[in-house]
Amino acid sequence: MEESKWEIGVVSVTNPSVKGLDWLTPKHNEQLKKLLDYAGLNMNISKTIFEQDSAELAFEIGKNFKANVTAQFIKFNNYTKIEIVSSNKLPFYARLYRLIKDEINNKNILQLIVVEGGKIIVDKKEETEINSLDFITIYESLSNKNNKDENITPQAWYDNIPCIAKGCCVFTEPAWVGGPLIPIAYNWCGAKCGSGTPVNSIDVCCRTHDYCYGSFKSYPARCNCDRNLINCLDGIYGHGQTPTLIRTAFRLKMRSQGC
């Protein structure tokens, strides 16, 4: 985004000791169960974890607002994975991805279901050619493998990988749904960023948000800009954890501004 600052800075990114789902509160477990029940999944998820990764992200919004976020990504099998975001400043949020085999029509269907604060806010299906769901670690998502600066670590990703604090964002994500991981340089997502043709649907969301900020110069008028960005990102899949990471940052910004 073309603004000199998104007024969002990630202070630190660390690897927590979060494993499995025992760290979730009973209330969070209820919402997770609601998500699985809605999807028609009858599984003991605590015993079927195939791959998992997590991180603690410390956000700083403006001068006085700070928030810690736990992000966890779990793959249960080749057909089911979930992204979880938990913070004492935000409602519980989880994205469930399901790959459904339509044997009758010989098709694969990718389903995305999202729960936030106990409510199902997204249920979207799309035909896909992939045969299994991928798994991207947070380090992979936040790292630009083509960057030659060996001093850049996950603890400094906000400086220029993916540049939420300044410059255009760079996320490592699938080149297409199910494709190889490559660094994607955005044209509209990022502070002091905003020109050219959007590189994907996420960048389109950021461009629309940029235009909205151009029309509304301050809060609370900008609350709807951020809300529309979040709604736009919630329905997107196939780009790794990028939608979740950006929407979390702006969900926190809305909280800091009293939206």
Task: Indicate whether this model's pTM tops 0.75.
Answer: yes
Residue 3 domain-assigned (yes or no): no
Q: Which residues contact 208 (CB under 8 A, 6 or more apart)?
A: 228, 229, 232
Answer whether residue 232 is part of any domain.
Answer: yes
Q: Is residue 137 part of a domain?
A: yes
For the stretch 124-170, pLDDT in tens is 999 988 888 888 877 666 654 444 344 333 333 333 334 555 667 87
Question: In this structure, what token pair is assigned to residue 247?
Answer: 């929407």
Average pLDDT, the chain: 82
pLDDT at 166: 60
Does 134 reside within a domain? yes
Residue 45 lies in a domain: yes
Q: How many CB atoms lie within 10 A of CB 228?
A: 14
Residue 188, in any domain of the structure: yes
Residue 84: which domain range? 8-256
**Phi, psi at residue 82, to the nearest 5°?**
-145, 150
Nearest-angstrom CA–CA distance, 230 and 250? 7
How many domains does one find in the chain?
A: 1
The burial of 23, by beta-carbon neighbours within 10 Å (0-12 exposed, 13-18 middle, 19 or more buried), is given as: middle
- Amino acid (one-letter) located at 34: K
Segments of the chain with pLDDT less than 50: 4-5, 144-162
Read off the DSSP letter of residue 236.
-
Within a domain: 63: yes
* Residue 127 DSSP label: E
Distance between CA 96 and CA 111 in Å, rounded? 8
In a domain, 2, yes or no: no
